[in-house]
């Protein structure tokens, strides 16, 4: 890599790191949606961490897709979690984030997906 490339694109390393983090996150989120659908079919209930995670995901969803009006969410906990998670996934696929704050969100969501996949959100 030449100094010229870095000079013209000082955020090159951040962009590469974000691309890697985004790919890891999207894979983890796809697995988590599937896990939530399985939990839904088994009538699993969200525990306190799961409810908190669902609320945080809903907040993230609203921030990622502003101006789309109010949202009405209906259903049981695992069903809502799967639906909101799928919506956040869709937002990230359609509009990747390219800022340091976006990197922070990717890391937060990846941490949440790991906890969800370990079953820490269900009773």
pLDDT in tens, 40-78: 999 899 999 999 999 999 999 989 987 765 666 777 889
Question: Are residues 123 and 93 in contact, defined by beta-carbon separation less than 8 angstroms?
Answer: no
CA distances from 7 to 4, 10, 19, 50, 53 (A): 5, 6, 20, 45, 41
Give the 3-state secondary structure of residue 9: coil
Span 28-42, mean pLDDT?
Answer: 93
pLDDT score, position 65: 85
Q: 95-112 pLDDT, tens per residue?
A: 999 888 999 999 999 999
């Amino acid at each position: 890599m030449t100094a010229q490339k870095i000079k013209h694109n000082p955020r090159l390393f951040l962009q590469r790191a974000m691309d890697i983090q985004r790919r890891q996150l999207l894979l983890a989120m796809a697995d988590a949606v599937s896990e939530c659908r399985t939990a839904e079919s088994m009538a699993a209930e969200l525990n306190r961490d799961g409810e908190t995670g669902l609320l945080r995901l809903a907040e993230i969803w609203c921030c990622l897709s502003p101006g789309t009006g109010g949202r009405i969410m209906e259903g049981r906990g695992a069903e809502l979690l799967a639906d909101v998670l799928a919506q956040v996934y869709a937002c990230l696929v359609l509009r990747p984030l390219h800022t340091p704050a976006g990197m922070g969100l990717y890391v937060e969501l990846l941490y949440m997906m790991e906890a969800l996949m370990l079953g820490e959100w269900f009773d």
